[in-house]
Structure 1
Amino acid sequence: MLPRETIATAQIPGGDTLTLVSHGRDFIIMLGRDELMGTRMQFSEEQLAELTLAELGKERPRVLIGGYGMGFTFRAALAAAGEGAEVVVAEVVPEILEWAEGPLAELTGETLADPRGQVVLCDVAALIDDANDGTCDKWDAILLDVDNGPDGIVRDGNQRLYSSTGLGKARDALRPGGILAVWSAAPDHKFTRRLKEAGFTVEERIVRARPNNKGPRHTIWFARKRNSASGDLE
């Protein structure tokens, strides 16, 4: 069996320690003793972007992604968005970008140099708030992959993203017909109900971690902004 080699560590603000390890030709980011993400199982994170943008069906979308990780969702969003799109990633761990440009440079490729994309070192909640107070334009899509799901919080304070108040802020930060997409390692029926109560029309899909229909089953919610008064899509 191939040994795992520790390459680097980083502290999540208000959270646990992240460890970047290599395992043969693969890379894995560990959260404590648990695998958070890795190069062998990236399909569901790519689907988070691909399915959202396909559902959105808009030219030149303005997309906000919560969490860079290994860049799977960011790269997939840029590939699917086309010319003229704007894709912004909010990342709270500076070392994640150092890894992307260092030991993971081959995986990263030219992504960080793409003029349509930008990685901002901040909490994704701050960029949602900026859209609500007029500091920046509203978003066509908000993609959240900052935790293991609404019931798998990685960082203290992220609970607010999945609360009724946080979902209301995400809804208000979206343009008419916009989509909030949330990745989770497991289903959560209470969260589905909370999305609906927050004024979204909700579709829940189960996506495998690998494109060959193998690996763990992950959940993605696609919540489209709805007119709270009529129940119609805005």
Structure 2
Amino acid sequence: MSESETTRGRAPGTPVTLDRREGPYGEVALRRRRAEGGSGGDRADDVLEIDDVLEIIANGTFLMDTSDGRSERLLVDAALRTLPEERRSARPSVLIGGLGVGFSLAHAAADPRWGRIAVVEREQAIIDWHRAGPLARISAAALADPRTVILHTDLVGYVRAAPGTHADRYDALCLDIDNGPDWTVTESNDGLYTEEGLAACRRLLNPSGVLAVWSAQPSATFADALRNAGFTWVADEEVRVARGAPDVVHLAVRTA
């Protein structure tokens, strides 16, 4: 699909590319556009204001932007809410994949109930945009939080290679590396949403742990794949968007 076919509350405006890099997974770009009602004027293209919208484009496909963030925050909140009370009160650990524009990380770090917060991000460019670039306005406090660690690696490989021992497990996995199980950014991500890939996610969870997967549209078959991978409780939560299908957070629990 082209970048014009997806919705995450995109506002009008002509995008300006701030950075573009070619990496092992293809091209990734950071673009800026003026939010509706923004002041515009005769500013230079490299001047950023608080109402500017930043968006990430991966291999020519719109991935996400900074115009809203409700569904990214829901991804984290729904995972925490689905954990049993005794786990929520014990400062649970969470793995977020990937870093994106930083909404999920920032929201998790703003909640003192979370303990260890690990973020897997395969694109060095995205990490750089957060550490010393325009996206620092969203993630600076979260990156400075001692609970936060950034893991520069591919999520699919990380999940498959993890031994699943107690020390390597998490209480929640919050995954947002694609536009959904049926709409991946790169072909190599497809394996994450198969029964084998989801079973690897399940092994990375503690008992009663929660898998939360963001999607730009509902998936008719993903719930069955989750159940076939060994998850015994599966549900969806929706976030309505300005147009098109709602964003969806798929939830699944490892009960044993």
- The structure with more strand, counted as a fraction of residues: 1
Structure 1 contact 144–181 (Cα < 8 Å) conserved? yes
The alpha-carbon distance between structure 1 residues 160 and 97, as it changes in their structure 2 partners (threshold 3 A), is: same
Name the count of aligned residue pairs. Answer: 221
Match of 2:24 in 1: 13
The alpha-carbon distance between structure 1 residues 219 and 70, as it changes in their structure 2 partners (threshold 3 A), is: same
Structure 2 contact 59–185 (Cα < 8 Å) conserved? no
Q: CA deviation at 1:35?
A: 2.6
Match of 1:208 in 2: 240
How far apart in 2 are the matches of 1:183 and 1:26? 21
Match of 1:229 in 2: none
Structure 2 contact 53–65 (Cα < 8 Å) conserved? yes
* Stretch deviating more after TM superposition (105-114 or 156-165): 105-114
Please state whether the residue corresponding to 1:186 is helix, strand or coil. Answer: coil
How far apart in 1 are the matches of 2:96 and 2:247? 18
Structure 2 contact 94–173 (Cα < 8 Å) conserved? yes
Q: Which of these residues, 99, 120, 132, is aligned with residue 129 of structure 2?
A: 99
Structure 1 contact 131–139 (Cα < 8 Å) conserved? no
Letter in 2 for 1:11: E
How far apart in 2 are the matches of 1:135 and 1:204? 28
Match of 2:195 in 1: 164
Q: CA deviation at 1:22?
A: 1.0
How far apart in 2 are the matches of 1:73 and 1:2? 25
Structure 2 contact 99–120 (Cα < 8 Å) conserved? yes
Q: CA deviation at 1:133?
A: 4.8
Letter in 1 for 2:203: D
Task: In structure 1, list runs of 5 or more residues that go unmatched.
Answer: 226-232
String of CA shifts for 1:76-100, please: whole Å, max 9, x gaps: 12223526x0010110000101111
Q: CA deviation at 1:12?
A: 5.2
Q: CA deviation at 1:193?
A: 0.8
Structure 2 contact 202–230 (Cα < 8 Å) conserved? yes
Aligned-residue CA RMSD in angstroms?
Answer: 2.0
* Stretch deviating more after TM superposition (175-184 or 24-33): 24-33
Letter in 2 for 1:63: V
Match of 1:4 in 2: 15
Percent of paired sites with the same residue: 34
How far apart in 2 are the matches of 1:183 and 1:37? 12
How far apart in 2 are the matches of 1:192 and 1:74? 25
Please state whether the residue corresponding to 1:189 is helix, strand or coil. Answer: coil
Match of 1:48 in 2: 75
1:65-214 correspondence runs (5 A): 65-82=96-113, 85-100=115-130, 101-134=132-165, 136-200=167-231, 201-209=233-241, 214=242
Q: CA deviation at 1:151?
A: 0.9
How far apart in 1 are the matches of 2:207 and 2:143? 29
How far apart in 2 are the matches of 1:18 and 1:42? 20
TM-score by length of 2: 0.79
How far apart in 2 are the matches of 1:199 and 1:66? 21
The alpha-carbon distance between structure 1 residues 173 and 133, as it changes in their structure 2 partners (threshold 3 A), is: closer
Structure 1 contact 13–155 (Cα < 8 Å) conserved? no
Q: CA deviation at 1:60?
A: 1.1
Please state whether the residue corresponding to 1:158 is helix, strand or coil. Answer: helix
How far apart in 2 are the matches of 1:104 and 1:112? 11
Please state whether the residue corresponding to 1:92 is helix, strand or coil. Answer: coil
Letter in 2 for 1:205: E
How far apart in 2 are the matches of 1:81 and 1:155? 34
How far apart in 2 are the matches of 1:224 and 1:170? 11
Structure 1 contact 150–184 (Cα < 8 Å) conserved? yes
TM-score by length of 1: 0.86
Match of 1:30 in 2: 57
* Stretch deviating more after TM superposition (192-201 or 102-111): 102-111
The alpha-carbon distance between structure 1 residues 127 and 69, as it changes in their structure 2 partners (threshold 3 A), is: same
Q: CA deviation at 1:136?
A: 4.3
